[in-house]
Chains A and B, each alone.
Chain A
Amino acid sequence: MNTAGHGAAVRIETCGKTFADGTRALDPATLDIARGETLVLLGPSGCGKTTMLRIIAGLELPDAGGKVLFDGKDMTAVPIERRNVGMVFQSYALFPNMTVADNIAYGLKIRGVARDERAARVAELVALTNITGLENRRIDQLSGGQRQRVALARAVAIRPGILLLDEPLTALDAALRDRLRSELNRLLRALGITTIYVTHDQAEAMELGDRIVVMRKGAIAQIGTPREVYFAPKDRFVAEFIGAANIVEAPIENGILVLPGGRLPIEGGATTANATVMIRPETIRVTNAGAEALSGVVDSISFIGDRQRIVVSGASSKPLNVDAPNTIQAKVGDRVGLSIGADALRLLPSEP
């Protein structure tokens, strides 16, 4: 497939953004994105992820001192129309006065590509994004999922150096979002283009990202592969934002975490009066009471299907969420033992 390019490497250097009214949307941040990599900017709304995307796109100018480089070339002053970036907007922003085919071909038309070549490229992209047969439809005749695909096809048609996606799946309903997420993943891998993807949905970030940049209040909280940010979150915010997490606050004595329901050995645990520890719900095993160092009482059980969420109180100062296999037989009020490996306890820096 001749769409397979590898795009440009992106570097942003001390890019901050303060709006005219004095609001600080983004603290000065530096970030390197490798050629062909898919980088996800993840965070709650207002964390500055969209501002960062818009700075890379050229829709916002960084504050003085900030620099945007594509393949080492300074692009800071270059307007978006000359940056050769493909962009997919949350609202899709498809042109209502054009057909699907005209939308996809628009960037090529602006570039003066001949009609035959445009038609060939449109045919190729329509096939790639599974919207064959819709070429002559008007935009208001398309479903949400179809619009998303047209927006993607339009952005990719110009063979951009960088593909920028701003919450491209947020406007869709949950079932469609899941399906399109894996389709998008397949497509991004096939294109091999440098991609920057903004989302507040951690499931999207996990599936699509080679690396994830977790953002909070205009600053980068952590950068890492999906596995790194999941298993080794840098702080409490990342731990709670990515996946489900039990955050336990308890003292550590000589490498032992002292909980109300028992004592657990912990790696790297220096003695402290108040440690913050993360335990993922799926790393806790429910066993018979008495067999384990830690025990508690079953508070509630929610059967989810592929697993069950058991809430155990008394083991820690706050009730612990446990993801147990769906075959475990337990009743509310049962006293159970909890088995937690030392490697499943993740010591987090205490919040000030």
Chain B
Amino acid sequence: MSQKSFVWLCLLPLAVVTTAFFLLPMARLVVAGAEGPHGFAGYLAILTEGRYRATLINTVLLAAATTIVTLIVATIAGMFLQRHRFPGRAVLIAMLTFPLAFPGVVVGFMIILLAGRQGLIGDLSNRIFGEKFVFAYSIYGLFLGYLYFSIPRVILTIMAAVQKLDVGLEEAARSLGAGPWAVQRDVVLPALAPAFVASGAIAFATAMGAFGTAFTLATNIDVLPMLIYTEFTLAANFATSAALSVGLGLITWLILALARTFSGSAVAAAG
């Protein structure tokens, strides 16, 4: 057996698994999406029908907002945690990364405990203002839940990137007259750009597709995964839910690709 055919033979199990559990279901999904009364035009419904389009825009906005806020919070926290040594630092980092251990359902449950009808915030606001603030069952509750499980993922990536920053670069900028803000703008943030793209992409993709949290909070939140679920289980609309699934995947992938291209020059320069 030649070296080459041996390599191919080794790749065979991977090929089988990929085909059976990835390519075939994908193909089936794409076909199923076109099996509705309108055929392949069923895919267009994602964009043309008002309800679907609104949900799509909602989902993208929610994911984008989650990504941006997560990046801001995690960058500040990650930079502080990496640059400072204080008692309890290790415990704090462990606590911040704790949400990684929770499934979406548990995160949703915690949001309800915090901002639900019997929640902490409602209780407090009732005592202070005589009115219950309840936002757990809305897109704001969902936003909070997504933040909760996106921040740990991003913080760890940012901390690793901050550790690799050359302190000399910041000192050089300062020696040339740059104040703290200018140093951040011109030196630190460009150097962290690759970490932003990598960790931001994960936060975005997670927020686009997460289901457990949304499902726990309410069944009428307008995000794509919930829409797919209701179309599939309640309306038994196979074709539409398949089309929406393919659409969700494609759009997420497209936005991530755009983000990479857009930041590509910055990433290359900082690399």
B169 and A154 within 8 A (CB): no
CA–CA, A137 and B193, complex, Å: 20
Mark out the residues of chain B between 173 and 188 whose CB falls within 8 Å of any chain A CB in the assembled complex: 173-179, 182, 186-187
User: CA separation between A138 and B173, bound complex, in Å?
Assistant: 17
Question: Which residues of A95-138 are within 8 A (CB) of B?
Answer: 95-98, 106-107, 110-111, 138
Q: Is B190's beta carbon under 8 Å from chain A?
A: yes
CB pair B176 A93 closer than 8 Å: no
Contact A81 B177 (CB under 8 A): yes
**Which of B166, B179, B186, B270 meets A81, CB within 8 Å?**
B179
A:56-112 near B, CB below 8 Å: 57, 59, 79-82, 84-87, 89-91, 93-98, 106-107, 110-111
Contact of A89 among B172, B179, B266, B271 (CB under 8 A): B172
Determine the chain A residues whose CB is within 8 A of the CB of B11 once the complex forms: none
Contact A107/B177 with A89-B171, A89-B172 known, Cβ cut-off 8 Å: yes
Does A158 reach chain B (CB closer than 8 Å)? yes
Q: How many A-B residue pairs have CB under 8 A?
A: 70
A315 at the interface (CB under 8 A from B): no
What B residues does A80 contact at CB under 8 A? 171, 174-175
**A278 within 8 Å of B (CB atoms):** no
Contact with A along B247-271 (1 / 0, CB 8 A): 0000000000000000000100111
Q: B168 within 8 Å of A by Cβ?
A: yes
Contact status of A81 and B174, CB under 8 A, knowing A97-B270, A138-B269: yes
The answer to the question of B115 belonging to the interface, with a C-beta cut-off of 8 Å to chain A, is no
A155 at the interface (CB under 8 A from B): yes
**Please, how many angstroms separate the alpha-carbon atoms of A25 and B72 in the complex?**
38
Which residues of A (148-168) have their CB < 8 Å from a CB of B? 154-155, 158, 164
Q: Is the CB of A97 within 8 A of B179?
A: no
A–B Cβ pairs within 8 angstroms, 18 of them: A59-B171, A79-B174, A80-B171, A81-B176, A82-B177, A84-B177, A90-B168, A93-B168, A93-B169, A97-B186, A97-B190, A106-B178, A110-B178, A111-B177, A138-B269, A154-B172, A154-B176, A158-B176
Chain A residues engaging chain B, CB cutoff 8 angstroms: 57, 59, 79-82, 84-87, 89-91, 93-98, 106-107, 110-111, 138, 154-155, 158, 164
- Spell out B's residues near A (CB within 8 Å): 166, 168-169, 171-179, 182, 186-187, 190-191, 193, 266, 269-271
